[in-house]
C-alpha cells in the first residue's frame, strides 16, 4: 500500500493491506467509499473486464489464454491464419505511436477478419467445448467468492469483453461448475445453425477500443436498443438505476466500460499484471486502486465486505 493510511483513517481498510495494492489519492478513495456506503447496496453494480481481469495473467509460469487465444477450430489452417493475424495486429494494438483513430480502424479490421475466419473455418460449438477443456485459463483466486457474495446481495455483475461471449460462458460453465443469476455477459455473441456450425455474429462488433460505445448501448432505454444485442438484455433499465459502479479492469481503456451510465460514484480497480515499471504511473493516476503482480481478487472481496458487511 503506497501512502499513509493512518493520515486519513484508512487503517481499517483490509483490502489495502496486501503489499501489492497502490492508491494514488487516498482522500478521494475514502470519499468514494463513504458515498457508496451511504447510498446502499441497491445502488451498486459491478462491471468487469474478463481476460486478465477475472482470469489470471500467469498460470504455472505460462501466460493464461484469452477467450480468443484458447480457441482451436479443429481446422489447423484456420488456427494458423488467426495466429498470423494476432502476430500482425497485437503489437499494433499496444503501439504508442499509432493515433487512436488509426488504431480503431486497425482493430475493426482485425476483429472483422478474425470473425470471418471463424465462420469460414467452420467453427462448431463442440470445438468450443473441447478448446475450453484443454485451455490454459483460470479465474483469479477470490473470483468465485466475489461472485457468490454479489449474488447473495443481489448485486448485478456485467462481464464486458471484446472477446467471445460463447467462450466466456463455456469457461464459466466448466471452471465454476455452477451458474450465477446476477451475471450478464456483454461480448461478441455467435449464431449457430441447427448443425451446431457458426454462421454469423450478433449485433455490432465489440473490439478493444470501442467498449465505451457499447456501454452507451447497454445503458440506453429498452425501446432504443436493438433487442438482445451482444447479450444486453431487458434488465438494462434496472441496471441504469444502479448509479454506483465498482469497475474492474486490466487496461486503462477498460475505464470506458462505464461511459454512458451516468454514474454517481465509481470506484475503479486496475490489475497491473506486467510491465509494472513503465505502466505504474499511468495506472495509479487512472484507477482508484491498483493491484500489482497478477494479484488475487481477495482484496476486492474484502472491499465489498467492508462496504456492506
Ligand atoms: P479485451 O481485454 O478487451 O477482452 O480484449 C480482447 C483481446 O483479444 C485483445 O487484447 C486482442 C485479443 N484478440 C485475440 O487474441 N485474437 C483475435 O483474433 C482477436 C480479434 C482479438
Average pLDDT across the chain, whole number? 88
Residue nearest to atom 13 of ligand 1 (CA): 68
Mutate to test the pocket of ligand 1, among 48, 49, 50, 51 (most ligand atoms within 8 A of CB): 51
ipTM of the complex: 0.97
pLDDT in tens, 30-85: 999 999 999 999 999 999 999 999 999 999 999 999 999 999 988 889 999 999 99
**What is the distance in A from the centroid of ligand 1 to the CA of 55?**
14
**What is the distance in A from the centroid of ligand 1 to the CA of 208?**
7
Higher pLDDT, residue 235 or 225: 235
pLDDT in tens, 101-129: 999 999 999 999 999 999 999 999 999 99
pLDDT in tens, 247-290: 999 998 899 999 878 899 999 999 999 888 888 999 999 999 99
Using alpha carbons, select from 54, 61, 67, 190 the residue that is nearest to residue 122.
190
Cα 278 to Cα 266: distance, rounded to the nearest angstrom: 25
List, by residue number, the catalytic residues.
49, 51
Residues with a CB atom less than 6 Å from ligand 1: 49-51, 66, 68-69, 82, 85-86, 93, 110-111, 114, 161-163, 208
SS (H, E, C) 71-93: CCCCCHHHHHHHHHHHHHHHHHH
Higher pLDDT, residue 6 or 79: 79
Amino acid at each position: 500500500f503506497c501512502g499513509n493510511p493512518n493520515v486519513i483513517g484508512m487503517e481499517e481498510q483490509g483490502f489495502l493491506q496486501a503489499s501489492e495494492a497502490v492508491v494514488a489519492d487516498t482522500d478521494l478513495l475514502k470519499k468514494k467509499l463513504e458515498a457508496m456506503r451511504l447510498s446502499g447496496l441497491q445502488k451498486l453494480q459491478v462491471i468487469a473486464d474478463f481476460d486478465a481481469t477475472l482470469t489470471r495473467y500467469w498460470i504455472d509460469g505460462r501466460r493464461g489464454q484469452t477467450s480468443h487465444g484458447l480457441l482451436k477450430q479443429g481446422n489447423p489452417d484456420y488456427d494458423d491464419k488467426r495466429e498470423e493475424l494476432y502476430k500482425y495486429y497485437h503489437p499494433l494494438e499496444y503501439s504508442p505511436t499509432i493515433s487512436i483513430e488509426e488504431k480503431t480502424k486497425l482493430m475493426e479490421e482485425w476483429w472483422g477478419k478474425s470473425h470471418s475466419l471463424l465462420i469460414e473455418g467452420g467453427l462448431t460449438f463442440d470445438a468450443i467445448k473441447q478448446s475450453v477443456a484443454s485451455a490454459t485459463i483460470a479465474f483469479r483466486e477470490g473470483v468465485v467468492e466475489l461472485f457468490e457474495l454479489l449474488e447473495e446481495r443481489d448485486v448485478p455483475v456485467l462481464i464486458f469483453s471484446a472477446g467471445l461471449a460463447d467462450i466466456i460462458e463455456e469457461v464459466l460453465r466448466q471452471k465454476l461448475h455452477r451458474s450465477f443469476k446476477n451475471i450478464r455477459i456483454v461480448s461478441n455473441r455467435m449464431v449457430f445453425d441447427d448443425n451446431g456450425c457458426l454462421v454469423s455474429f450478433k449485433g455490432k462488433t465489440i473490439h478493444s477500443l470501442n467498449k465505451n460505445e457499447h456501454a452507451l448501448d447497454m445503458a440506453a432505454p429498452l425501446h432504443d436498443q436493438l433487442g438482445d444485442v451482444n447479450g444486453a438484455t431487458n434488465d438494462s433499465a434496472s441496471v441504469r438505476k444502479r448509479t454506483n459502479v465498482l469497475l474492474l479492469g486490466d487496461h486503462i481503456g477498460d475505464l470506458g466500460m462505464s461511459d454512458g451510465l451516468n454514474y454517481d460514484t465509481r470506484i475503479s480497480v486496475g490489475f497491473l499484471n506486467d510491465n509494472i515499471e513503465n505502466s505504474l504511473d499511468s495506472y495509479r493516476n487512472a484507477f482508484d486502486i491498483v493491484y500489482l503482480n497478477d494479484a488475487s481478487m481477495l482484496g476486492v472481496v474484502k472491499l465489498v465486505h467492508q462496504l456492506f458487511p
